[in-house]
Amino acid sequence: MPHKSLAILGVLLAAFPWVSGEYYVNLTSQILIAAIFAASLNLLVGYGGLPSLGHASFLGVSAYFSAWLYLKLGLAHWVTAPAALLGTTLMAGLFGLIALRATGLGFLMLTLALSQVLWGTAYRWVSVTDGDNGLRGLTRPSPFGMNLDDATAFYYFTLAITVAAMWLMAKFVSSPFGAALRGTRDQPRRMAALGHDVWLVRWITFVYAGFWGAVAGLLFVYYNKYIHPSSLSLITSAEGMLSVIAGGSGTLAGPILGAAIIVILKNYVSSYIQYWNMLMGFVFLAIVIFMPQGIVPGVRDWWARRRQ
Amino acid sequence: MTPALQIDGLCKSFGGLPAISDVTLAVAPGERRLIIGPNGAGKTTLFNLITGDLARDAGTVSLFGADVTRLAPHQRAHRGLARTYQIITLFAKDTLEHNVLLSLLGLSRVRWKTLAALTRHADLYDEARRVLGLVGLQHLAQRPISEVAYGEKRRVEIAMALAQKPRLLLLDEPLAGLSREERAAMKDLITGIPREVTVVMIEHDMDTALDLAERITVLHYGKIIVEGTRVEVVADPKTREVYLGD
């Protein structure tokens, strides 16, 4: 049962700050944020068969929008957070109209193009974004009087949102709608002949994925208290995609595991090994060679074969 | 009576090559219509134009008196149109039951639900198993499509169409690739389809198919060259010329 193993993982994560120092608590917060991001992308890539290379758009715009509202308009967090989520989700609706004119490689190129436009805008529209300096001077919100500047408090805040996000996304893919979504991935023509509105199913999924991408973006900007155009870059989108592929696309646990691998390699290993990018390359090469389906399906198959 | 299917002046070309040219035909409700013609005559293209999988160049398609020419395939399905495919088009990794479920979902409002698990909808599962029973596959309900035999896949194709309780059913070579015994069983299955359902069938196996049809349309190079009852069509010299051979 994937739900059961996710619940066990949740309990372990809840106990984690008791046995660990601040550094690892912060590292795990970053993993959780990356996991929401990757899991939302997985709805498109894994369950919808729609490879997007522009998912950073939602993380970046949500982060920038809330930061801009806070810094330049002086609005409170309880206003900026819902406004950023709403604004980004509306943008996802618009982007979906454009990107879903195609599927496959065409969809990939359109999502990439849209996110590159945003990335360029973030660099050049200095009056709004402060360009290459990024927006700095942000604070974390303090919901219900919690001081989120404390690493452990922020960790629990992030964990609670991650659990809710994963739970809702798991519900989404195991619902009738999720079954239809997988159907449109495998046999779109047949699904249309059966009465399913293939385009609308994809568009709704695109918007939903965009919403969770925006949630990840909010947590991301709260964690860093800073946002830079690089968050809108192709690298951010590609890291999400790598997380999904490495962990196992179309599985619930895959993107979480993939995100953990990427964040650990990026943050932890990079402080010891100068050529960490090369190491990351080797790790992914090994995954693709030995478990082309990703780690989660790979281990599952290996386990099934061993038990036979 | 309003025809179940009415096609007027339908045309479709692929890169200047006419696949269907000026086809006009009407199928009465409850009728069993057979469409025959040599390979490349445009039979499957005609089906794809009726379902909306292909956009027509000219002409109209009406279902039960309503013009559906501008409707998308999924909207036509909601008007009571179902089809099977010549080349098996199933969800290979999913179970037989799940395949039929997707068919049931296609016309059910339940398909928009995103919070309740699919497995909670026991009524859908019961109905899927009942439909699999109709084609004699209930015992394989939990098997993935990829693990069942070709003849059984052909029957799942039929089950998915029947699950929708269509008013007009298009069968694209339902007997293709089946053994003699399987063909006989499939023939019984098609004969057993209720009379409320209008059936239009493309088939190559004349021995079996002629028995099933009331009226026959012969297509050749995208044009209707003969149409009439079984006896008329078989007797027509043009049929012999293009299709039945010497």
For residues B12-48, one letter each, b for 16 or more C-beta atoms within 10 angstroms of the residue's C-beta and e for the rest, the string is beeeeeebbbebebebebebbbbbbbeeebbbbbbbb
Give the type of residue at A33: I
Based on the fold, state whether residues B230 and B242 are members of the same structural domain.
Answer: yes
Which residues are CB-neighbours of A67 under 8 A, at least 6 positions away? A135, A138, A221, A227
**Bridge partners of B11?**
B58
Of A172, A175, A183, the CB nearest to B102: A183
Based on the fold, state whether residues B160 and B171 are members of the same structural domain.
Answer: no
A181 touches chain B (CB under 8 A): no
Would you say B10 and B58 are in contact if contact means Cβ atoms under 8 Å apart? yes
Based on the fold, state whether residues B147 and B242 are members of the same structural domain.
Answer: no
Using DSSP's 3-state secondary structure scheme, residue A264 falls into helix
Q: Give the integer Cα–Cα distance in Å for B219 and B239.
A: 9
A271 touches chain B (CB under 8 A): no
Give the type of residue at A304: A
Query: What is the reported pLDDT for A238?
Result: 93
Of A174, A180, A183, the CB nearest to B117: A174
Q: Please state at what angle helix B180-191 crosses helix B150-163, rounded to 10 degrees.
A: 10
Helix (H) or strand (E) holding B200: strand B198-202
Query: Best interface-test mutation with B: which of A1, A175, A198, A204 has the largest number of B CBs within 10 A?
Result: A175
Minimal Cα–Cα distance from A172 to chain B, Å?
Answer: 5
Mean pLDDT of A233-252: 93
Residue A2: pLDDT band with limits 50, 70, 90 = low
Tens digit of each residue's pLDDT (9 = 90 or more) over B108-163: 999 999 888 999 999 999 999 999 999 999 999 999 999 999 999 999 999 999 99
Residue B231: pLDDT band with limits 50, 70, 90 = confident
Minimal Cα–Cα distance from A226 to chain B, Å?
Answer: 35
Between strands B17-27 and B5-14, the pairing is: antiparallel
Would you say B171 and B199 are in contact if contact means Cβ atoms under 8 Å apart? yes
Q: CA of A205: which chain B residue's CA is closest?
A: B114
Query: What is the reported pLDDT for B233?
Result: 86
Query: What is the reported pLDDT for A3?
Result: 67
With vertex at residue B180, the alpha carbon angle to CA B177 and CA B181, rounded to the nearest 5 degrees, is 110
Q: What is the pTM of this model?
A: 0.93
Minimal Cα–Cα distance from A112 to chain B, Å?
Answer: 28
Mean pLDDT of A83-108: 96
A10 touches chain B (CB under 8 A): no
The residue out of B165, B182, B210 marking a domain boundary is B165
Using DSSP's 3-state secondary structure scheme, residue B245 falls into coil
Total domain count, chain B? 2
**In the predicted structure, residue B244 carries a pLDDT above the cut 70:** no
Using DSSP's 3-state secondary structure scheme, residue A74 falls into coil
Backbone φ/ψ region at B16: left (φ over 0), alpha (ψ -120 to 50), beta: left
Q: Give the integer Cα–Cα distance in Å for A279 and A306.
A: 30
Residue B246: pLDDT band with limits 50, 70, 90 = very low
Q: CA of A185: which chain B residue's CA is closest?
A: B91
Would you say A221 and A66 are in contact if contact means Cβ atoms under 8 Å apart? yes
CA distance readout (Å), A266 to A125, A273, B68: 29, 10, 56
Helical H segments across chain A, by residue range: 2-19, 22-42, 56-72, 77-99, 104-124, 126-129, 151-174, 176-186, 188-193, 198-224, 234-247, 254-263, 276-290, 295-307
Query: What is the reported pLDDT for B203?
Result: 87
Minimal Cα–Cα distance from A307 to chain B, Å?
Answer: 20
User: Among A266-270, A289-293, B39-43, which is the least confidently predicted range?
Assistant: A266-270
Contact (CB<8Å) A197/B160: no
Residue B212: pLDDT band with limits 50, 70, 90 = confident
Based on the fold, state whether residues B155 and B180 are members of the same structural domain.
Answer: no
pLDDT > 70: what percent of chain B? 98
The residue out of B112, B141, B165 marking a domain boundary is B165
B231 touches chain A (CB under 8 A): no
Tens digit of each residue's pLDDT (9 = 90 or more) over B69-94: 999 999 999 999 999 998 889 999 99
Based on the fold, state whether residues B73 and B177 are members of the same structural domain.
Answer: yes
Backbone angles phi, psi at B32, to 5 degrees: -110, 110
Of A175, A183, A195, the CB nearest to B116: A175
Helix (H) or strand (E) holding B156: helix B150-163
Residue A66: pLDDT band with limits 50, 70, 90 = very high
Q: Please state at what angle helix A56-72 crosses helix A234-247, rounded to 10 degrees.
A: 130
Q: Scan for tokens 């402080």, then name that residue.
A: A271
Contact (CB<8Å) A189/B53: yes
Query: What is the reported pLDDT for B61?
Result: 96
Contact (CB<8Å) A194/B102: yes
**CB < 8 Å to B93, chain A:** 186
Q: Which of residues 136-165 of B touch A (CB under 8 A)?
A: 160, 164
pLDDT > 70: what percent of chain A? 99
Based on the fold, state whether residues B75 and B175 are members of the same structural domain.
Answer: yes
**In the predicted structure, residue B97 carries a pLDDT above the cut 90:** yes
User: Among A42-56, A142-156, A242-256, B43-57, which is the least confidently predicted range?
Assistant: A142-156
Based on the fold, state whether residues B151 and B205 are members of the same structural domain.
Answer: no
Based on the fold, state whether residues B183 and B76 are members of the same structural domain.
Answer: yes
Would you say B157 and B80 are in contact if contact means Cβ atoms under 8 Å apart? no
Based on the fold, state whether residues B119 and B218 are members of the same structural domain.
Answer: no
Of A172, A176, A193, the CB nearest to B121: A176
Q: CA of A182: which chain B residue's CA is closest?
A: B91
Tens digit of each residue's pLDDT (9 = 90 or more) over B4-29: 999 999 999 998 889 999 999 999 99
Contact (CB<8Å) A175/B118: yes
Rg (CA), chain A: 19
- Domain of residue B93: give its range: 88-165
Residue B245: pLDDT band with limits 50, 70, 90 = low
Question: How many beta-carbon contacts under 8 Å exist across A and B?
Answer: 93
A171 touches chain B (CB under 8 A): yes
**Bridge partners of B82?**
B169
User: What does the DSSP 8-state code read for residue B39?
Assistant: T
Tell me whether residue A12 is exposed, middle or buried, using C-beta atoms within 10 angstroms of its C-beta: 0 to 12, 13 to 18, 19 or more.
exposed
How many CB atoms are located within 10 Å of the residue A73 CB?
A: 10
Q: Give the integer Cα–Cα distance in Å for A146 and A259.
A: 27
User: Among A95-99, A191-195, A251-255, A282-286, which is the least confidently predicted range?
Assistant: A282-286
Q: Give the integer Cα–Cα distance in Å for A67 and A57.
A: 15
Check if the interface score ipTM surpasses 0.90. yes
Residue A269: pLDDT band with limits 50, 70, 90 = confident
Query: What is the reported pLDDT for A21?
Result: 86
Q: Give the integer Cα–Cα distance in Å for A271 and A199.
A: 45
Based on the fold, state whether residues B70 and B32 are members of the same structural domain.
Answer: yes
Contact (CB<8Å) B105/A192: no
Minimal Cα–Cα distance from B112 to chain A, Å?
Answer: 5
Would you say A36 and A218 are in contact if contact means Cβ atoms under 8 Å apart? no
B120 touches chain A (CB under 8 A): no
Residue A1: pLDDT band with limits 50, 70, 90 = very low
Residue A80 tokens read as: 């900026």
Q: Give the integer Cα–Cα distance in Å for B17 and B85.
A: 23
Minimal Cα–Cα distance from A188 to chain B, Å?
Answer: 10
Based on the fold, state whether residues B123 and B60 are members of the same structural domain.
Answer: no
Residue A283 tokens read as: 């790790």
Q: CA of B104: which chain A residue's CA is closest?
A: A194
Based on the fold, state whether residues B105 and B132 are members of the same structural domain.
Answer: yes
CATH code for position B233: 3.40.50.300
Residue A232: name the closest of A95, A99, A74, A116 by CA: A116
Contact (CB<8Å) A193/B164: no
Contact (CB<8Å) A179/B118: yes
Of A177, A194, A208, the CB nearest to B106: A194
B111 touches chain A (CB under 8 A): yes
The residue out of B165, B196, B224 marking a domain boundary is B165
Would you say B81 and B66 are in contact if contact means Cβ atoms under 8 Å apart? no
